[in-house]
Structure 1
Amino acid sequence: MAGHNMAASGDAGVELPEICKSAGNMAGDMQMSMDHKMDQAHMDLMAGMNETNRAMMNSMMVEDIDVAFVCSMIPHHQGAINMAKAELAHGDNQWAKDMAQKVIDAQEKEIAEMISWLEGEGANE
């Protein structure tokens, strides 16, 4: 993306462009976010990840690290699918809606691959 600093910031990943920070970092404080009046589109977007966070965190506790990684990625991917569905339901921009559909297609395929691995090789870990 031209003009946006997407330089890596250590193990935390990429630094978001300034436009992504314009909400005053409300998402960093879930209680503050819940107290702030949001429209249905934003509530659906937040719920997309929130409902999968507990499963993701619990899955990380599986003893075998490979299995823990794969198990925690399934709800992580499902959260992305849920967020993409919120975009499809509420979004206006065709590029963003197309990206949301790409996310759904890719993440559903990867979830199926991860479940297959868990039922096969992962079960033997």
Structure 2
Amino acid sequence: MAHSSPGMTSMKMDHAAAPGTPVAAFQHGMDSVMVVMDEGMRRMTGASPDDIDASFAAMMLPHHQGAVDMARLQLLYGKDPALRRLAQSIIAEQQVEIQQMAAWLKQHPVAAQSSK
């Protein structure tokens, strides 16, 4: 996989798969996940860039959601049993952490409102 910039602004697979194949669907899915994740990290919804704690939580939310979405693609298209177990673990663990960070942002309205 290649990134178009060090900031991970977008991701494109190095080799394009034949259209209509599971590999092409996986590649398209991964590209889409990266675009959404990168945009969410740039927006830092719910945080001021001057608030380190809120920035961390706000950027980690789309980062973790991206990991969940990637793991779901692995479950849809991947075959390796060890990687499928890992993907299931990622989904479970990251969803808990997403809930924790979202709750933290809700409990710290001053930090969340400082970007408005």
TM-score interval, smaller chain:
0.7 to 0.9
Kindly, what percent of the aligned residue pairs are identical? 32
Aligned residues: 99
Counterpart CA distance in 2 for 1:28 and 1:89 is 23
Contact kept, 8 Å, 1:57 with 1:72, in 2: the verdict is yes
- Structure 1 residues 96 and 35: CA distance shift in structure 2, 3 A: closer
Return the offset for 1:85: 0.6
Return the offset for 1:65: 1.6
- Identify the residue that residue 90 of structure 1 maps to in structure 2: 77
Unmatched tracts of structure 2, length 5 or more: 18-23, 112-116
Higher fraction of helix:
1
1:123 to 105, 109, 113: 109
Which shifted more, 36-45 or 103-112?
36-45
Return the offset for 1:34: 6.8
Deviations 1:34-58 (A, max 9, x none): 7952311122123222212111111
TM-score w.r.t. the length of structure 1 is: 0.68
Give 2:31's aligned amino acid. Answer: M
Which shifted more, 77-86 or 55-64?
55-64
Counterpart CA distance in 2 for 1:32 and 1:108 is 23
Return the offset for 1:86: 0.5
Q: Which has the higher contact order (CA 8 A, sep 6+)?
A: 2
Which shifted more, 29-38 or 44-53?
29-38
- Identify the residue that residue 16 of structure 1 maps to in structure 2: none
Cα RMSD (Å) of the superposition? 2.5
Counterpart CA distance in 1 for 2:68 and 2:33 is 8
TM-score w.r.t. the length of structure 2 is: 0.73
Unmatched tracts of structure 1, length 5 or more: 1-25
Contact kept, 8 Å, 2:29 with 2:73, in 1: the verdict is yes
